[in-house]
Amino acid sequence: MKIIRRGRPKKYCSASCRQQAYQHRQQRVLESLPTGSIIIPPEQVEEYRDDLYALRCAAEDMVSAVHDGADYSEMKTLCQELVVLARKVEKFR
């Protein structure tokens, strides 16, 4: 009597061989990255972009305030906001 096998043939002889192959593939990916590269999730990239946008807007607000002749207290407030945003972006490191 002939045994008929269904589905595609096994690629790995065991679960441990499959796991080792996965680890080797992951290692090759990591080795192909330039030195000093970091890997971050896409959500964190978006958050970082949003923070950079807010930082740029704060800097543009300061330029506009200077151009419009803002007084000392307004400039002080804008500078403080800029520093807070810059520190937030700096924490990304």
d(Cα 75, Cα 1) in Å, to the nearest integer? 90
Non-local (6+) Cβ contacts of 81 within 8 A are 58, 61
Provide the number of structural domains found in the chain.
Answer: 1
In a domain? residue 85: yes
Q: Render pLDDT for 7-48 as a digit per residue (tens, 0 to 9).
A: 888 888 888 888 988 888 888 887 888 888 887 888 888 999
Give the global pTM: 0.58
Q: Find the DSSP H helices in 1-93.
A: 15-31, 42-67, 72-90
Domain contains 46: yes
Whether 1 maps to a domain, the answer reads no
- C-alpha 80/C-alpha 93 separation (Å) is 21
* Tokens coding 31: 């080795």
Query: Does residue 74 form part of some domain?
Result: yes
- Domain span at 38: 15-90
Q: Is residue 51 part of a domain?
A: yes
The answer to whether residue 7 is domain-embedded is no
